[in-house]
Structure 1
Amino acid sequence: MAEICISKVEENTTQGWLNGMIGVLLFSGSLPATKIAVLELSPMFLTAARASIAGVIALVVLLFFKEKRPDRKQLSSLAIIALGVVVGFPLLSALALQYVTSAHSIVFLGILPVATAVFGVIRGGERPKPVFWIFSVIGSLLVVGYAVAQGLTASPVGDILMLAAVVFCGLGYAEGAKLTKTLGGWQVISWALVLALPIMLPLSFFYKPVSVEAISTGAWLGLAYVSVFSMFIAFIFWYRGLAQGGIATVGQLQLLQPFLGLAVATSLLHEAVSLDMIAVTVGVILCVAGTKKFAK
């Protein structure tokens, strides 16, 4: 009997890693796709449109499966999630990509696991060891130092916007991971999208392009990717992975996202990836690995 239970736990953990990895792979294309779209679409329209498209899909899925509505306490958490990953990160990252390349912005994703952990402390009441915060500060300083060093060629405005975007994303990840335990993985992002839909749908029409015909196919494909994959499907795998394999364990897969994102940026956008970018990304990942080790 004990062997059966252990086998089921191991199987569930393996499925969690697999789902989490799929989620990270899909997330890795988000910033390059956003860069392609924001070259021709305004950040406000892009943010509202991606949330609206994903929100309509989420609403259909929720109605199809006849999901029970969240209670009042869960609605509060869903509002925080919507603020973080439906509005905050998409809008701020889209604004940032008007000033910097997607390869440059991807470096900032190296501190996303730390931001998630910080909000895990604030929202979840966790108490990491002091060593955790040492690694966290070093990682943050690496990113800030890189941004300052690039001051002549990169935009300070873009860097500040990306830092803010990461903070909002970390908030949404931590709150979503906590709520997944009671509401379910795919239900969390679905209800968050539906909650934002009454606001985002009118805004998407208000900020729509003057001439739709003038927008290239590439820009529409970028919008389609961030709407269907980044905003909805990736979160289904990601939150399911967190629920199956454990938040702390599966959350380490985020460490691969900067590398995967840089690979996408170079292959699709032909953006230059300097040795400095790679070095900072590696340094940040090592620091985040340290924070994960001493998270509890």
Structure 2
Amino acid sequence: METDNSAIAPRSIAAPSLTRRPAWRGTLLAGVGVLSFSGSFPATVFAMRGFDPYLVAIGRAALAALAAVVCLKAAGAPLLPPRAHLRSYGLIALGVVFGFPLFSGLALHSGASTAHSAVVIGLLPAATAAFAVLRAGERPRPLFWVACAAGALSITVFTLTRGSGHFAGADLLLVLALLSAAVGYTEGGRLARETPGWRVISYALVVAAPVTVPATAVLALVTDPRPSGVAVAGFAYVGLISMFLGFIPWYAGLAMGGIARAGQVQLAQPLLTLAWAWLLMGERFGVATIAAALAVLVCVAATQASRPTPDRPRPRA
């Protein structure tokens, strides 16, 4: 007698079949997340006026972990993620809890301007799309890849022309930051297909808490914090919004609209960050910066015009 092993087989997180309406809803949700993330670089600069760069990078995760625990307790959810997904939550933590804040903060501390950093990070959607294919099983159409490559080319040309024909040390840090974020975004988007986005980022923060909380306490003791109103406000922004609240609509949008497709909305982030840098910091930027940001904005519109590829029917056992 044959037995059905489907009930005891481990569940895989398959790529969803996307219809036109849910895909656009996912794009809108991802856009809300991008709007939240767009203030991260100016807020990081403000935070580093009163706190050590390492304290900002690690301490923001400790602050976000506190908010995550409060939300999990209020919702009556378990404080620890399922053991079957611990590896994925570990990758999310390495990518968006440790990697991106640390590398981007060091790049800003080493002299990279907010505007320049924002435009270089415009390569992040292309990296996210690549990881979505490798890890999440998505298969975007050719038009998507053409628009994605055009956006990446625009960012590369901008970086080389602004860097006297070569990448600077700060640019290498920014590349490490965007690769870290791409891994964290892809894993989070996969898990958000079955788990609400707020719980995905909450569990990633909880998994990282045994490192971030003690490290924050040590850094606060060995560094020389000089908190001011601006520094505290910047630290609160990167801890509560950039590290926690912004990920709630972001992961939900990636799960609903497709990681590769909805992730291209982040091509608009350089323009938003440029606006924040000008409004809050009085930072000046030239025609080349604006042109590069507008180019990637056109590319994101093209990626959203590309219809998602429907899933192929799977043979029934």
Tell me, yes or no, whether TM beats 0.5.
Answer: yes
Q: CA deviation at 1:181?
A: 1.0
More helix by share: 1
The correspondence for 1:107, drawn from 119, 125, 132, is 119
Matched, 1:141 2:141: no
Q: Is the 8 A contact 1:111 1:284 kept in 2?
A: no
Residues 141-220 of structure 1 correspond to what in structure 2 (within 5 A)? 141-151=153-163, 156-208=168-220, 210-212=223-225, 214-220=226-232
Give the match for residue 41 of structure 2.
Answer: 31
Task: Read off the aligned partner of 2:273 and give its amino acid letter.
Answer: G
From the superposition, tell whether residues 79 and 261 of structure 1 become closer, same or farther in structure 2 (CA, over 3 Å).
same
Change (3 A) 1:126 1:11: closer
Supply the distance in 2 between the matched residues of 1:154 and 1:226 (Cα, whole angstroms).
30
Identity over aligned pairs, percent: 41
Q: For 1:245-264, what aligned pairs fall within 5 Å after superposition?
A: 245-247=257-259, 250-264=262-276
Q: Distance in 1 between matches of 2:233 and 2:270?
A: 22
Q: What are the superposed Cα offsets for residues 240-259 of structure 1, whole Å, 9 maximum, x if unpaired?
A: 33345554554343232221
Could you report, residue by residue, the CA deviation over 1:31-76 in whole angstroms, capped at 9, with x for unpaired residues? 1101222244222111111000000110121122221443223111
CA distance in 2: counterparts of 1:249 and 1:45, whole angstroms? 34
Aligned to 1:229: 241
Q: Return closer, same or farther for 1:132/1:25 CA change in 2, 3 Å cut-off.
A: closer
Is 2:251 the partner of 1:239?
A: yes
Equivalent position SS for 2:193:
helix
CA distance in 1: counterparts of 2:154 and 2:179, whole angstroms:
16
Q: Which moved more, 1:233-242 or 1:103-112?
A: 233-242
Alpha-carbon distance in 2 for matches of 1:139, 1:21: 17
Structure 1 residues 11 and 67: CA distance shift in structure 2, 3 A: farther
- Structure 1 residues 131, 242: closer, same or farther in 2, change over 3 A? closer
Q: Secondary structure at the match of 2:76?
A: coil
TM-score with structure 1 length normalisation? 0.86
Residue identity matched to 1:62: L
Count of equivalent residues: 287
Task: Tell me, yes or no, if the aligned pair for 1:110 and 1:285 is still in contact at 8 Å.
Answer: no
- The amino acid that maps onto 1:70 is P
SS of residue paired to 1:183: coil
Contact 1:34 1:226 in 2 (8 A): yes
Matches of 1:119 and 1:78, distance apart in 2: 16
Pairwise CA distance, 1:134: 4.7
* Distance (Å, rounded) in 1 between the aligned partners of 2:130 and 2:26: 23
Retained in 2: the 8 A contact 1:22–1:234?
yes
Question: Does structure 2 retain, via aligned residues, the 8 Å contact 1:52–1:197?
Answer: yes
> Please, which of 60, 68, 71 is the counterpart of residue 70 of structure 2?
60
Give the residue type in structure 1 aligned to 2:62: S
Distance 1:164 1:290, change over 3 A: farther
TM-score of the two chains, using structure 2 as the length reference: 0.81
| Consecutive unaligned residues in structure 2, runs of 5 or more | 1-18, 310-317
Quote the offset at 1:146 in angstroms: 1.9
User: Is contact 1:17–1:241 with CA below 8 Å preserved after alignment?
Assistant: yes
Structure 2: how far apart are the matches of 1:295 and 1:91? Answer: 34
When residues 97 and 155 of structure 1 are mapped into structure 2, their CA distance, relative to the original with a 3 A threshold, is farther
Displacement after TM superposition at 1:130 (Å): 5.3
Contact kept, 8 Å, 2:37 with 2:242, in 1: the verdict is: yes
How far is the alpha carbon of 1:289 from its aligned partner?
Answer: 4.6
Alignment deviations for residues 153-178 of structure 1 (CA, whole Å, 9 cap, x no partner): 99811111112111111111111111
SS of 2:179's equivalent in the other structure is helix
* Deviation, structure 1 residue 225: 0.4
CA contact (8 A) 2:51 2:224 kept: no
Whole-angstrom distance in 2 between the partners of 1:12 and 1:146: 34
* Shift in CA distance, 140/246, structure 1 to aligned 2, threshold 3 Å: closer
- Change in CA separation of 1:125 and 1:20 when aligned onto 2, cut-off 3 Å: closer
Given residue 219 of structure 2, which amino acid in structure 1 is its aligned partner? Y
Kept in 2, the 8 Å contact 1:53–1:228? The answer is yes
Instruction: Please say which of residues 225-234 and 135-144 is displaced more in the overlay.
Output: 135-144
Amino acid of the residue matched to residue 95 of structure 2? G
What is the identity, as a one-letter code, of the residue corresponding to 1:72?
R
Matching residue of 1:88: 99
Match of 1:215, as an amino acid?
P
